A and B are shown apart, each in its own frame.
Chain A
Amino acid sequence: MQGGGENATTIDERHSSRVTVEVNGASREVTLDNRTTLLDALREHLDLTGAKKGCDHGQCGSCTVLLDGRRVKSCLVFAVTVDGRSVVTVEGLAGPDELSPLQAAFIAHDAFQCGYCTPGQLCSARGMLDEVSRGWPSAVTGDLNTPAKLTDAEIRERMAGNLCRCAAYPHIVAAVRQTAASS
Chain B
Amino acid sequence: MSTGAVGRAYPRLEGAAKVTGTARYAVEYPVDGVTYGWAVPSAVVRGRITRIDTTEALASPGVLAVVHHGNAPRMAPGPQPELRLLQEPTVHYRGQYVAVVVATSLEAAREGARLVRIDYDTGPHSTVLTDDHPGLYKPDQVNPSYPTDTAEGDFDAGYAAAPVRVDVTYRTPAYHNNPMEPHATTAQWHDGRLLVHDSTQGATPVRATLAELFELPPESIRVVAEHVGGGFGSKGYAKASVVLAALAARHMDRPVKLALTRQQLFGPVGYRTPTIQRVRLAADTDGRLTAICHDAISQTSTIREFAEQTAVYTRSMYAAPHRRTTHRLVRLDVPTPFWMRAPGECPGAYALESAVDELAIAVGLDPVELRIRNDTAVDPDQGRPFTSRNLVACLREGAQRFGWAGRDPSPRAGRDGRWLIGTGVAGSSYPARARPSTATATARPDGSFLVQINATDIGTGARTAIWQVAADALGVPPERVEIRIGDSALPTAALAGGSMGTASWSWAVIRAAQALREKLRDGGPPTGEVTAEADTTEEVGGQPALPRYAYGAQFVEVRVDADTGEVRLNRMLGVFAAGRVVNPTTARSQLIGGMTMGLSMALHEEGLLDERYGDWVNHDLATYHITGCADVESIEAYWLDERDDELNPAGVKGIGEIGIVGAAAAVANAVHHATGVRIRELPIRLDKLIGISDLA
Contacts and interface: CB of A to CB of B under 8 A. Distances in A.
A2 B262 CA distance: 28
A62 interface: yes
B62 A165 contact: no
A108 B11 CA distance: 7
A170 B634 CA distance: 7
Nearest to A49: B28
Given A3-B64, A8-B104, A107 B19 contact: yes
Contact of B459 (A11, A33, A52, A114): A114
A1 B181 contact: no
Interface in B602-630: 620-622, 626-630
B622 A4 contact: no
Interface residues of A, number: 70
B538 interface: no
A108 to B, nearest CB: 7
Interface in A125-162: 152-153, 155-157, 159-160, 162
A115 B58 contact: no
Contact of A170 (B62, B66, B585, B632): B632
B19 to A, nearest CB: 4
A113 B230 contact: yes
A165 B20 contact: no
Contacts of A49: 21, 24-25, 28
Contacts of B14: 115
B607 to A, nearest CB: 15
Residue among A49, A57, A59 with most chain B CB within 10 A? A49
Contact of B181 (A2, A114, A160): A114
Contacts of A168: 589, 592-593
A40 B38 CA distance: 15
A165 B16 contact: no
A88 B266 CA distance: 32
Contacts of B261: 56
A44 B54 contact: no
Interface string A82-124: 0000000111011000010001001110101111111100100
B588 interface: yes
Interface in B446-490: 458-461
B628 A160 contact: yes
Contacts of A57: 262, 620-622
B542 interface: no
A33 B105 contact: yes
A3 B28 contact: no
Contacts of B589: 110, 113, 166, 168, 171
A59 B620 CA distance: 8
B393 interface: no
A164 to B, nearest CB: 7
Given A56-B261, A159-B629, A165 B11 contact: no
Contacts of A47: 30
A164 B629 contact: yes
Interface residues of B, number: 76
B506 interface: no
Nearest to B62: A8
A115 to B, nearest CB: 3
A99 B18 CA distance: 12
A167 interface: yes
A168 B627 CA distance: 11
A54 B621 CA distance: 9
A173 interface: yes
Contacts of B66: 1, 3
Interface string A48-81: 1111111111111010000000000000000000
Given A115-B227, A165-B179, A170-B635, A50 B20 contact: yes
A83 B650 CA distance: 56
Given A108-B11, A164-B629, A114 B179 contact: yes
A9 interface: yes
A-side interface mostly: loop
A167 B596 CA distance: 6
A90 B20 CA distance: 6
Interface string B99-137: 000011111100110000000000000000000000000
B628 A11 contact: no
B12 interface: yes
A28 interface: no
B429 interface: no
Contacts of A33: 105, 107-108
A1 B54 contact: yes
A121 B107 CA distance: 26
Contacts of A107: 11-12, 15-16, 19
Given A51-B21, A116-B230, A11 B180 contact: no
A164 B622 CA distance: 14
B109 to A, nearest CB: 11
Contacts of A166: 180, 230, 459, 589, 593
A165 B182 contact: no
B180 A114 contact: yes
Nearest to B70: A1
A20 interface: no
A170 B588 CA distance: 11
Nearest to A171: B589
A165 B232 contact: yes
Interface in B646-664: none
Nearest 8 A/B pairs, CB to CB? A50-B21, A116-B229, A114-B459, A113-B459, A115-B18, A167-B596, A90-B21, A49-B28
Interface of B: 11-12, 14-25, 28, 30, 54, 57-66, 71, 103-108, 111-112, 178-182, 227-230, 232, 259, 261-262, 458-461, 585-586, 588-590, 592-593, 595-597, 600, 620-622, 626-630, 632-635
9 contacts: A3-B65, A8-B64, A50-B20, A54-B180, A59-B620, A113-B230, A115-B17, A115-B18, A115-B227
Given A12-B61, A56-B261, A99-B19, 14 more contacts: A3-B57, A8-B61, A9-B105, A36-B107, A89-B21, A90-B19, A91-B20, A99-B20, A118-B18, A119-B19, A160-B629, A166-B459, A167-B596, A170-B632
Interface of A: 1-6, 8-9, 11-12, 33, 35-36, 40, 43-44, 47-60, 62, 89-91, 93-94, 99, 103, 106-108, 110, 112-119, 122, 152-153, 155-157, 159-160, 162-173
